[in-house]
Every structure is written in C-alpha cells, then in structure tokens.
A and B are shown apart, each in its own frame.
Chain A
Amino acid sequence: MRRLFLGAALSLLLFAGFGSAQRVSVLCSPDLAWCEALGPAFKAATGLDLEFIRLGSSEALARLRAEAANPVFDVWFGGTGDPHLAAFNEGLTEFYKPSSWDDLLPSLTKSVGETYIPLYTGALGFVVNEGILAEHNIATPQCWADMTDPALKNLIAMPDPNASGTAYTAIATLVQIMGEDAAFDYLAKLHQNVQQYTRSGAAPGQLAGRGDVAIAIQFMHDGVKFAEEGFPLTVIAPCEGTGFEIGGLSLIKGAPERDAAIKFIEWALSPEAQMVAATVGSYQVQSNSKTPVPAAAPDLDTIKLIDYDFAKYGNPAERDRLVARWTDEVFPQPR
C-alpha cells in the first residue's frame, strides 16, 4: 500500500514538470493555415516565439469569458468583428491604438471606432458549383432574388444563424437591403431551397465543392480559397449588394505577456505580416492600405457593398432579436 500511495504522489510530481513558457499566446480565429503561418513569420521578424490555439470567433469569445478572471491569452487575432466588439464592451479586451492606425483603411477604422483593430475585411456572396447547376439546367444565380427559384430546391446550403456569425451577417445584410419584414419573407422562401444549415460558416462551400449542394451562401474569400484548392467553384457577388465583415485584432485585458502582445499587434498590422495571409490561401482584403491586394482576392471595388451598420447590427440585443425571429418564423417551416 505504501508503494501505491508513494507512486501516486510521485506521478503527481511528474505532472508538475509541465509548465507554461514565456511567449506570446495567440487566440487565433481565421483559417488554420493562416494561424500556422504566423509563428515562423513572427519569429523571423522579431525573434519572439508564438503559440496559438485556433477557435472560431464565437468559441473564442466563450473561452475569453470563461477565463476572464485569469487570462491565458495575450492577443486575439482575427475572426469576425461582432464578438470582438462584444468582448470589448464586456471589458475582456482593451483598445490599443497601433502606430499604423492611420495607414489602416479609413472605411474600416471609421466603422469600428476605438474598440478593436480592423485586421481584414471580406464580403458575403454565393459560392457556386456550376457543374451541378448545369446538370439541372439552371443558370448561375447573380442576385439574391434568383435564389428563391423553386428549381433550386435542396441545392443551397448556408450556415445556421444560431451557430455561426457568417449566417447572422447574411440575415443582417438582407434586413438592411430589403427592410426587416420583407427580408424575413425572403428568408422563408429561401428556406424552401436550403438543403441544410451548417454549424460552421465555411462548411457550405465544402458541401458545394463536393457536389452535396450547388450553391453556398458564405464569405467570398472562403470560396476563393476552396477554388484555389481545386474544388470546382466560382464566386458570385449578389447584384443587389452585399454585406461584409470586419475581422478584428484585440489586446486581451490582463494579458500575461503584454509587451510581447503589443509587439505582435504592431507586427501583425504591417504589410509584410499581412501579405502572409494570401500565401496560405486566405484572400481577405487586409486592413493596411499599403498591403498589396492579391490577384485572386475578390476585388471589393467591383462588388456592390451596402453601408453596413456595424454599431446597430453588432449590438448583441439586436442580434439576439433577429436570430430569435428567424428561429421562430423561418426555421420550423416544413420543406
């Protein structure tokens, strides 16, 4: 018996060997390949080490809330802006004004104010598998209005607003284009054509790429990425105009390695750092106006963007109201 308990005590001591190291800890919300590319590039530029965990922006916010009393992470990199705004309003993050603030696209900095730092932007659109459409003799839809064509039944996938920020951006966009009641009538008609609502914002593009559906409603840069990987997809910007996201960068309040975190933020906003994204297939438009736009990226100048009201639709109460309305009035309809 003595041996048993001593063994138990010894193994507890063994665990103690694991410790946390002194390096910048990044909560990373964009594409995993981008997250993975950050570390080596940051090390080459500054000599500092970087560790990251990738969590989607909603999960990341949940994680930050849970750890509020004793933060683990120093920086929150990327992910759609609404959770960054919520984190700022809840005091989980603090605003840090980077030295490159004036170089950032003015449209972005004006939209977010001094809450979080804009990191990139990207527009919502249709990601289309034209081969599947051709089998059904359907023309490629160019407008939101085309998507309610009964011929498209079971051929559309979009994310679930209850699980994905991308889907909420779509609903908020439609509400801003059509007005709320007309937007919900539209969503109910769209519902008849939707084969499934996915949990992840990027999943519809994969379904379309594999031919499980023909059209995905999601961010266009994700579609470009899938197309670059070899999926037979084309990316369409809706003719009535479309909404967009602002990816955020935030300094965690109470960051264990605050100095390293600030170095990371300064670096992450430099054109050199932002150019890393396109090399690993992330084709968002980067926030620094000096960062060259990659050829494959959707050109935001040719896309009709709506004047997205981030203050109103980023408000959690408005978000909850719209998502609840969708859940009660659209989702239960039989199809």
Chain B
Amino acid sequence: MSVRSIPHARTKGRGGSAAVYALAAAAAFLLLPFGRPGRPFLTLDPAFRPWNIDAPWLWLLPVLALVAAAAALAPLPTLRRGNVLTFAGAGAFLVGAVWLVTTRTPFGMGALLSLCLLVVVVGYGLSLSGRVRADPFVASSILFTGLLVLLLVVYPLVTVLQAAVVVNGKFTLAKFVATLQTNRFILIENPFTPRSEGALVRYFALAGLVLAFAWTLWRRQPALRVVLITLGGGLAGLVVGLMLFARGAVPSSLTLAVIAATVATLLGLGFALLGQRTRFRFVKASLGAFSVLPIITPPFILAFSMIFLLGRRGLLTFDILGISSNWIFGIPGVALAQILAFTPIAYLVIQGSVAALDAALEEASTTLGASKWHTFRTVTWPLLRPGLANAFLLTVIESFADFGNPLILGGDRNYLATEVFSAFAARFDQAEAAVYGVVLLFVVLLVFYAQARWLGRSSFVTVTGKPSRRAFTRLPGGLEAVLLVGFAVWAAVVVALYASIIYGSFVQLWGVNGTLTLKHWRDLTNAGVPVFLYTMRIAAISAVPAALLGFLIAYLVVRQEFWGRRLLEFGSMLSFATPGTVMGIAYILAFNTGPWLLTSSAVIIVLSFVFRNMPVAIRGGVAGFAQVDRSLEEASTMLGSSSFRTLRTVLVPLLVIPIVSGLIFAFVRAMTAISQVIFVVSPGNQLTTVLLLGWVEQGQTGRAAAMGTLLIVSMLVVILLLNLLTRRRGGITGEVVA
C-alpha cells in the first residue's frame, strides 16, 4: 500500500495550529513596521506602521489572516477548511507582497514575519484541501523552499540577465553575438599560424562521427541509437578538436574541466575504496586527514604555494630537480591546483556511497564463485555509480566556476569564470559578463542532463534496516598497490605545499630571504585577526541553514511528489552552477534597492553563503536518501507519525553522516569562498579570503602565509571537533570526514 493514499491520517487538532499561525501573521502586521526607510533592519519607524501607510487595501492582509484563523477554528469539513485557508492565506500574502513590490519599499520586520507565517497557513490549506498530497509540514516546506529559491537564486539571475540583454531599456541580442565572436571567447582559425585549425577541428569531428558509426554497426545497435550515437561521437570529436586546437575561454575551461574532474573523481573513488578496504590501518587514518586538508584552504593559497614549490625558481623544480620551466602558468598548473582542491570534494561525495555499500552483497558474489574483479565490476561498481556521477558533476561545475586558481596560475590563457570577472570588473561590461555567465550555465545544464541520463532509474537500496556488518572483500592486489602509490604521491605533494605555507609565514620574504621572523604574525594580529573572527561568525551562522535547507530540499525532491519538483531541484543547483562572480554581481543588482534591500550588510553575505553552499548538502542528501529503503518511512507513517516526525526520528538519525558532512562543508566553504563574496563585502563586513587575496595580489606573501596558516589550523580544529562529536553520538557508519 502506498503512503500517499493516507496522507493525513490525523487531521484533528491541525486546525488549531493553522489558526495560531494565521493570528501570529495578523499580530506581526499590527505590531511591527511593515517597511523600513533605509538599510538598518531593526527600526521602529512610525511612518511604516500600517495605520500610517496610505494604502487602505493593505488592511486586507490582517483581515484575510483573521478569516483564515476563523476558518481553522470553525467546525467546517476538512476540504472546505483547506480551501478557505489556501485562498485567504494566499490572498493575504499577495496583498503584502504586491504592496512591497509596487511601492518598492524595503521590507520591514512586520512584512517579513507576517509573510513567512502566511506561507505556513497556505501550506496547511493546500494539505487539508488535498491540492498537495502531503501533510502540512511538507506542503509548507515545498512553498518555503520554492519561494526562497525563487527570491535568492532565480530572481538575482534574472536581474543580471535582464541587465545584459536590455540596453537603454530596449531588448537586443547584438551584445551576445558580438561577444561570442571575440577571440577571447573562442578563436578557431588563427590567421597568424600556417596551419588551418578549422580544418583540423573538422577532421576530428569527422573521425568521431566515423568511429561512433563503426562502433554502432559492430554492436548491432537499433537504427535510432545508430543515429544518436553517431551524432554524439561527432560532437565528442568536435569537442576534442576544439580542446586541442582552438584558443580562448571556451576551449581552456573545457579542457581544464575535463582533466580536473576526471582525475579528481578517479582519485576520490580510489581513496574512498582504499579507506574502506585497505589492510593498513595507518593509511586509513591518514586518508581522511589528508584529503580534507585542501578543502580547508582557500584554493588560491594552495596555488600560490605551488609557485614557490613548482615554479621556474621553485624549491622542488629548480633547487632540487634543476628544471627551469614556466609550465605552472597555464592549464597544467591550474589543472593540478584544481585536482588538489577538488579531489576531496569527490572523495567526500563518493565516500558517502562507499560507506553505504553492503558487504553481504559482495560476500554473496564471491561465495557464488565470482573473482574479485568480477565482483567489483558487477556488484560494487553499479552501487558506486550514483556517488561517482554526483562527484563528477560537482567537480566539473567547480572547475568551471573556479576563480581563484586561474587568477593566480592561469598565465595568459582566458577562462570562462575569470572572463566573467574581467568583463565586469576590468572592461566595465555587464552585458559581456552576462554572456559568459549564460555560456557557463548552458555548459552546466548539459552536465546536469548527462548525469540524469547516466544514473537512469536504477534503484540502489542498501540500507534496509536489516543488520549487516560484515568485513568487506579486499581490493584486488594490483589495484590496492596502485592506489597506495597514488595516495603516497598525493600525500607528499600536500605535505610539501602545506609545509611551505607554514614556512612562508615565518621567514622574512618567502622564496627570497629565508631569515626567520615573527613579523608577519605580529602584523596579522592587528590587521587580520578581527576580520578572521568576524568571518568565523558569519560562516557559522550560514552553515546551519545551508545544511538544514539542503537536507530538507533533498528530502522533498527524493521522497515527495509534487508539481515543480524538478524545478526546485534545478533552481537550487543553479546557485552552485552559476559562477560566483556572476552571482555576486547579481546579488548586488537585485538586492541594492527596492523591496528586497539587503546590500551593505552581513545578511546578504550570510544569504549568499547559504544558497551557494546548500547544493552540496542537497547532493549529499539525495545520494543518502537513494540508499534508504522507503519501507522504514512507510512503517513510521503507518504508525501515525507526521512526516516531520518521521524525518526527525527516522531519517535524520540514519542520515546523520550526510547532514554533518553538509554542515562541515557549508562552514568550511564559507570560510574559504572568494568569487561570490568579493562583490558583496562592504565596509565593516570584510571577509578573510577577500583580505587574503588582496595580500597575495599585493605581494604581501608573509602575511598571506600567516593568515593561510591560521585559517588552515582553525578549520582543522573545527572539523576534528565535529568529527569527535558525531563519533560519540554514533551513526549507522563510523567515519565522517577525518
């Protein structure tokens, strides 16, 4: 029997709660100012009390709220009560929202509270009337998350796109066409070279077409698939040709993303398997710690450290190996920096799937006589695919959106994310920046689609509530050796990079004058520490809603059926996919005036962190939910629990690992984010990374190294503390991060 046939077994008493929310909405309207005159949020400006506002129709809001409260308490049939709650609540909400939007008055506390409460009232209405086949909690959550994503992700992007295609109040596409034709964007036929790049790219496309066609004939594919696969092969050939021969931002970013995401995902997978199945306990212990190190560092600091270690005069390359080469500036250097930075992301995502693998399945396979390789290929691998797809998706998007590494190590190749920034910040060209933004979004959409296709509709249930704690089959010997060597190299590079950051903070001038000094640390206490503490506070405040909202959206998307489910998922991923610089500018354009005035405050920084970091929690949650059997929730629902109670008492304890990972991630990413916040910081709201990038750019290497060390050490402490906490509480699996 499906849960959905009994969506609200207990409807008694529900009306009472809805009445409380409706009354509270009316009270907030009466007691708090509906608007505010300027930026400060907590003003009690009498001009914005409802009775001083010259709009009598605004009083419909409390009236409709009272109607809803009365309907909730009156002895009405459930269906009619639901309808009245829906329409009265939605009407009141619209009255308030329309007033804010038409008068362009910044929202006041009264507006914020009453509108939020009215959303809950509508949620009750939709649930009771059966319009949304879920209980009030789920219905309200759908509305809330939908509105938040609309306001804080979609609306800013629409604003920036509008600023791009509307020039002087007129719609025009001329800017798009002009930007796509510049050789900063893409240059295929270079007039200054003897060879014809256009012809080479065409040959590659043709080769891809022919190879794919031959493959389809060999495998005797049906006609439709022959056409599709042949076209796909042609496209792949074209892309490879462009990556090899074309210049400009598109080929650079594409090449970078392909290299970085592939290597990072493979390394992440290898490390996750190694961590679970190696014989060496030492490797197990150090794996978590090592792979976490790069995430707790702003990427550009690592890139910066790479110059000192691997540059033309680098300690390793020049002083030890005697190589004098500038290979590090350009795609190889950026790719290496990105691999170092994104492998941990891949590792954490894949580790979630690896931790949920069931040893019993593999045991069954080996008992039936399968070899280790066969078991790996036919049992373990299919179970890992959702995690791999998620990891690949995340790293591709991260690579495209990455701003810090190309900025430091990019040399003079162009990259899409840095071009967004250059177009906006250096060439003062909003429209051009938006064109780059649109291209980035388009690429990300393709990746997203490919991921959905690859995962398909297979079911990957391994947490069934039935106990299964058996030892895993060991990895095949050859594979384990390769992974161990890979991990050793990784560890050596990471140790060297971090050691040189710490070293850099204690010498006069990193790379030039090695006299030991504490000067940079003294400088840091004056100039850096207050900013650092402030950033910690902001990051902590933003991490909790990011993790909870991400988990909630994952729950809604995976476990509930409602209109707009895919839209919600897509909308919330959009803020992650959008390059940070575009999102930062979008926030400034959208939230600088009008009803949603937020700029020049800590609030806008917190909100940008929440919506930027939430998608990681969503992906983690989605992957986690995919492995929890629905029968557990059905049992809870059958026994009369509301979906909130089920979520809290059944699902949260089972999925504590993805939630805590999401929380850690959100906090750490907030501490180390740069591209989006570089635009929203304001006087008095300065953040560590923005300050740090300034120091790096200005050549204050010692101070930057000291700040980097402080950041790394404190993030490490935070992660260890959280990890200890979750260990003590215990979950279904042991290890979280470190």
A residues sitting closer than 8 Å to B (CB atoms) are 1-2, 4-5, 8-9, 11-21, 23, 25-26, 31-33, 36, 51-54, 56, 58-59, 61-63, 65-67, 69-70, 72-73, 83, 86, 154, 160, 162-165, 194-200, 202-203, 205-206, 209-213, 225-226, 229-232, 316, 320, 323, 327-328, 331-334
Report Cα–Cα, A315/B112, bound state, in Å. Answer: 46
8 Å CB interface, B141-156 against A: none
| Apart from A31-B698, A165-B426, A199-B422: 16 A-B pairs, beta carbons within 8 A | A1-B642, A4-B644, A51-B683, A53-B682, A61-B428, A69-B593, A70-B599, A86-B428, A202-B697, A212-B311, A212-B312, A212-B329, A229-B699, A230-B512, A230-B513, A331-B412
Shortest beta-carbon distance, A274 to chain B, in Å? Answer: 20
Are B42 and A231 interface neighbours, CB within 8 A?
A: no
Report Cα–Cα, A56/B684, bound state, in Å. Answer: 18
Are B41 and A19 interface neighbours, CB within 8 A?
A: yes
Of all chain B residues, the one with the shortest Cβ separation from A161 is B426
Q: A212-B312, A231-B509, A231-B512 are in contact. Are A18 and B601 (CB under 8 A)?
A: yes
Report Cα–Cα, A334/B192, bound state, in Å. Answer: 7
Q: A residues within 8 A CB of B284?
A: none
27 contacts between A and B (CB under 8 A): A1-B644, A2-B17, A5-B117, A12-B113, A13-B109, A15-B41, A16-B41, A18-B41, A19-B40, A20-B601, A20-B682, A20-B684, A21-B684, A36-B527, A53-B681, A69-B592, A162-B184, A196-B411, A196-B412, A198-B412, A202-B699, A210-B308, A212-B312, A213-B312, A331-B183, A332-B187, A334-B193
List the 6 closest pairs (A to B, CB-CB), nearest first: A51-B683, A16-B41, A211-B313, A18-B602, A197-B412, A59-B425
Q: A residues within 8 A CB of B191?
A: 332
Shortest beta-carbon distance, B445 to chain A, in Å? Answer: 26
Are A12 and B697 interface neighbours, CB within 8 A?
A: no
Shortest beta-carbon distance, A284 to chain B, in Å? Answer: 14
Task: Answer whether residue B20 sits at the interface, using C-beta atoms and an 8 A cutoff.
Answer: yes
Are B326 and A195 interface neighbours, CB within 8 A?
A: yes
Q: Which of A5, A197, A226 has the most CB of B within 10 A?
A: A5
Of all chain A residues, the one with the shortest Cβ separation from B424 is A62
Question: Chain B 183-211, CB within 8 Å of chain A: the 1/0 string?
Answer: 11001001111000000000000000000
Q: A residues within 8 A CB of B312?
A: 211-213
Of all chain B residues, the one with the shortest Cβ separation from A316 is B428
Of all chain A residues, the one with the shortest Cβ separation from B163 is A66
Are B606 and A58 interface neighbours, CB within 8 A?
A: no
Are A70 and B681 interface neighbours, CB within 8 A?
A: no
Q: B residues within 8 A CB of A202?
A: 697-699
Partner of B183 from the list A21, A210, A328 (CB cut-off 8 Å) is A328
Partner of A32 from the list B192, B508, B695 (CB cut-off 8 Å) is B695
Task: Answer whether residue B694 sits at the interface, using C-beta atoms and an 8 A cutoff.
Answer: yes
Shortest beta-carbon distance, A219 to chain B, in Å? Answer: 13
Are A209 and B109 interface neighbours, CB within 8 A?
A: no
Q: B residues within 8 A CB of A332?
A: 183, 187, 190-192, 247
Are A58 and B428 interface neighbours, CB within 8 A?
A: yes
Report Cα–Cα, A164/B422, bound state, in Å. Answer: 9
Task: Answer whether residue B296 sits at the interface, using C-beta atoms and an 8 A cutoff.
Answer: no
Shortest beta-carbon distance, A277 to chain B, in Å? Answer: 14
B residues sitting closer than 8 Å to A (CB atoms) are 17, 20-21, 39-42, 109, 112-113, 116-117, 120, 136-137, 140, 182-184, 187, 190-193, 247, 307-308, 311-313, 326, 329, 407, 410-412, 418, 422, 424-428, 430, 508-509, 511-513, 527, 541, 545, 585, 588-589, 592-593, 597, 599-603, 606, 642, 644, 678-679, 681-686, 691, 694-695, 697-700
Q: Could you tell me the dominant secondary structure of chain A's interface residues? A: mixed
Of all chain A residues, the one with the shortest Cβ separation from B679 is A63
Q: Which of A61, A194, A210 has the most CB of B within 10 A?
A: A210
- What's the A-B contact tally at a CB cutoff of 8 Å? 191
Shortest beta-carbon distance, A194 to chain B, in Å? Answer: 8
Report Cα–Cα, A229/B511, bound state, in Å. Answer: 12
Q: B residues within 8 A CB of A54?
A: 694
Report Cα–Cα, A70/B427, bound state, in Å. Answer: 22
Are B137 and A1 interface neighbours, CB within 8 A?
A: yes
Shortest beta-carbon distance, A70 to chain B, in Å? Answer: 5
Q: B residues within 8 A CB of A23?
A: 683
Of all chain B residues, the one with the shortest Cβ separation from A4 is B644
Q: B residues within 8 A CB of A164?
A: 426
Of all chain B residues, the one with the shortest Cβ separation from A11 is B545
Are A334 and B601 interface neighbours, CB within 8 A?
A: no
Are B113 and A72 interface neighbours, CB within 8 A?
A: no
Report Cα–Cα, A197/B418, bound state, in Å. Answer: 14
Report Cα–Cα, A146/B36, bound state, in Å. Answer: 63
Q: A residues within 8 A CB of B20?
A: 2
Shortest beta-carbon distance, B163 to chain A, in Å? Answer: 9
Shortest beta-carbon distance, A216 to chain B, in Å? Answer: 11
Q: A residues within 8 A CB of B418?
A: 199
Report Cα–Cα, A231/B702, bound state, in Å. Answer: 13
Q: B residues within 8 A CB of A213?
A: 312
Are B599 and A327 interface neighbours, CB within 8 A?
A: no
Partner of B592 from the list A2, A59, A67, A83 (CB cut-off 8 Å) is A67
Are A66 and B592 interface neighbours, CB within 8 A?
A: yes
Of all chain A residues, the one with the shortest Cβ separation from B195 is A334
Are B307 and A212 interface neighbours, CB within 8 A?
A: yes
Q: Which of A1, A154, A197, A209 has the most CB of B within 10 A?
A: A1
Are A62 and B428 interface neighbours, CB within 8 A?
A: yes
Are A56 and B425 interface neighbours, CB within 8 A?
A: yes
Report Cα–Cα, A198/B41, bound state, in Å. Answer: 42
Shortest beta-carbon distance, A203 to chain B, in Å? Answer: 7
Report Cα–Cα, A162/B602, bound state, in Å. Answer: 32
Are A199 and B699 interface neighbours, CB within 8 A?
A: no
Report Cα–Cα, A209/B212, bound state, in Å. Answer: 52
Are A33 and B512 interface neighbours, CB within 8 A?
A: no
Shortest beta-carbon distance, B480 to chain A, in Å? Answer: 40
Q: A residues within 8 A CB of B511?
A: 210
Are A70 and B42 interface neighbours, CB within 8 A?
A: no
Of all chain B residues, the one with the shortest Cβ separation from A74 is B683
Of all chain B residues, the one with the shortest Cβ separation from A68 is B592
Q: A residues within 8 A CB of B697?
A: 200, 202-203
Q: B residues within 8 A CB of A25?
A: 682-683
Are B698 and A212 interface neighbours, CB within 8 A?
A: no
Report Cα–Cα, A58/B513, bound state, in Å. Answer: 33
Q: A residues within 8 A CB of B329?
A: 195-196, 212
Q: B residues within 8 A CB of A63?
A: 588, 679
Shortest beta-carbon distance, A251 to chain B, in Å? Answer: 16
Are A18 and B588 interface neighbours, CB within 8 A?
A: no
Q: A residues within 8 A CB of B682?
A: 20, 25, 53, 72
Are B599 and A58 interface neighbours, CB within 8 A?
A: no
Q: A58-B425, A163-B426, A199-B407 are in contact. Are A32 and B600 (CB under 8 A)?
A: no
Q: A51-B684, A58-B426 are in contact. Are A72 and B599 (CB under 8 A)?
A: yes
Partner of B508 from the list A18, A62, A154, A230 (CB cut-off 8 Å) is A230
Shortest beta-carbon distance, B43 to chain A, in Å? Answer: 9
Are B42 and A17 interface neighbours, CB within 8 A?
A: yes
Q: A20-B39, A63-B588 are in contact. Are A209 and B527 (CB under 8 A)?
A: no
Report Cα–Cα, A52/B527, bound state, in Å. Answer: 13
Partner of B585 from the list A8, A31, A36, A66 (CB cut-off 8 Å) is A66
Q: B residues within 8 A CB of A203?
A: 697
Report Cα–Cα, A69/B184, bound state, in Å. Answer: 32
Report Cα–Cα, A194/B326, bound state, in Å. Answer: 12
Of all chain B residues, the one with the shortest Cβ separation from A333 is B192
Q: Which of B20, B136, B418, B603 has the most CB of A within 10 A?
A: B603
Q: A residues within 8 A CB of B137?
A: 1
Q: B residues within 8 A CB of A31?
A: 698
Of all chain B residues, the one with the shortest Cβ separation from A67 is B592
Of all chain A residues, the one with the shortest Cβ separation from B418 is A199
Q: A20-B600, A231-B509, A231-B512 are in contact. Are A66 and B683 (CB under 8 A)?
A: no
Report Cα–Cα, A225/B699, bound state, in Å. Answer: 10
Are B40 and A15 interface neighbours, CB within 8 A?
A: no
Are B698 and A19 interface neighbours, CB within 8 A?
A: no
Shortest beta-carbon distance, B593 to chain A, in Å? Answer: 5
Of all chain A residues, the one with the shortest Cβ separation from B526 is A36
